[in-house]
């Protein structure tokens, strides 16, 4: 009986090696952007001299524009340097991957301000996206829509612009809540602020600088602490 060290080495096919190489590149990319594939599809087509060659145990695989995301149609160069085998060839790998990203939960019209109920996470195939994508709805809250976004369409930064409900230096109303008691006073914004963002404001009556959350146009709210 042969020991483990004496077992013959079975060379992987060119297609299998290409599939494994492109899969590794895809996993590294997904880790870098901070997400996981919900589904993926990798199709390999070998052409040129490599198409009719036997399996190569020493196959060098390289990709032009290796810094680009491994998505869509990719061209690979192949070079076999195994003893008795010296050939070069080409291959095309088509990669599709579905990830959970931010899409519109309903049609969003131009100039609307994004609220949580307008957005949702859903699996979407990203190989044809040219402007990037978003993975968290919270990061887009309060931004202004530059043009109409259809239901189910990815919501990217290129479709949005900053929209400050409070501008630095503006006179604002500060709502104060203390154990169920509410009051308001006038203040001055010391920072720009979007909906839900915490900013610094000055209470014009006391002169104190405090932090408050933007709740509307020139409106902020703070929760007072009882001494």
Residue 181 sits in a domain whose CATH number is 2.30.30.760
- Asked if residue 65 is part of any domain, the answer here is yes
Q: Do both 183 and 194 map to the same domain? A: yes
Q: Do both 61 and 43 map to the same domain? A: yes
- Provide mean pLDDT across the span 111-136: 94
Q: Do both 86 and 129 map to the same domain? A: no
**What tokens appear for 125 in the block?**
């195939």
Domain boundary among 48, 69, 97: 97
Residues 6+ apart with CB under 8 A from 131: 156, 157, 158
- Asked if residue 7 is part of any domain, the answer here is no
Which pLDDT does position 56 carry in this prediction? 86
CA distance 36 to 123: 11
Which pLDDT does position 177 carry in this prediction? 81
- Is pLDDT at 4 greater than 50 in this prediction? no
Residues 54 and 14: beta-carbon distance below 8 Å: no
The chain-wide mean pLDDT, for the chain, equals: 89
Note the pLDDT tens digit of each residue in 142-158: 889 999 999 999 999 99
CA distance 49 to 70: 24
Look at the chain and report how many structural domains it folds into: 3
Note the pLDDT tens digit of each residue in 53-94: 878 888 999 998 888 999 999 999 999 988 888 888 899 999
Q: Do both 116 and 192 map to the same domain? A: no
* Domain encompassing residue 205: 171-223
- Asked if residue 4 is part of any domain, the answer here is no
Alpha helices in the chain (DSSP H): 14-33
- Closest Cα partner for 167 from 204, 219, 112, 207? 219
Q: Do both 21 and 89 map to the same domain? A: yes
Instruction: Please list, residue by residue across 100-118, b when 16 or more beta carbons sit within 10 angstroms of its beta carbon and e when fewer do.
Output: ebbbbbeebeeeebbeeeb
Domain boundary among 67, 97, 127: 97
Which pLDDT does position 195 carry in this prediction? 82
Q: How far is CA 218 from the centre of its chain?
A: 31
Which pLDDT does position 1 carry in this prediction? 38
- Asked if residue 147 is part of any domain, the answer here is yes
Instruction: Report DSSP state, residue 10.
Output: P
Which pLDDT does position 11 carry in this prediction? 54
Note the pLDDT tens digit of each residue in 187-200: 999 999 988 889 99
- Asked if residue 3 is part of any domain, the answer here is no
Which pLDDT does position 164 carry in this prediction? 85
């Amino acid at each position: 009986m042969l020991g483990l060290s004496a077992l013959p080495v079975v060379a992987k096919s060119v297609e299998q090696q290409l599939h494994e190489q492109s899969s590794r590149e895809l996993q590294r990319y997904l880790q870098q952007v901070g997400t996981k594939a919900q589904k993926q599809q990798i199709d390999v087509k070998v052409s040129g001299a490599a198409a009719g060659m036997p399996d190569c145990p020493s196959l060098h695989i390289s990709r032009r524009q290796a810094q680009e995301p491994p998505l869509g149609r990719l061209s690979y160069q192949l070079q076999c340097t195994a003893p008795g085998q010296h050939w070069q060839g080409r291959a095309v790998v088509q990669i599709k991957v579905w990830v959970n990203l931010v899409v519109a939960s309903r049609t969003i019209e131009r100039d609307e301000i994004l609220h949580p109920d307008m957005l949702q996470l859903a699996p979407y195939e990203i190989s044809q996206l040219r402007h990037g994508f978003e993975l968290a709805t919270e990061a887009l809250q309060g931004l202004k829509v530059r043009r109409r976004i259809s239901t189910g369409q990815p919501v990217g930064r290129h479709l949005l612009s900053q929209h400050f409900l409070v501008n630095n230096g503006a006179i604002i109303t500060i709502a104060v809540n203390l154990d169920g008691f509410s009051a308001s006073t006038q203040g001055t914004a010391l920072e720009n602020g979007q909906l839900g963002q915490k900013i610094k404001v000055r209470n014009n009556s006391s002169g104190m600088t405090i932090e408050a959350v933007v709740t509307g146009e020139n409106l902020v709210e703070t929760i007072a602490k009882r001494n």
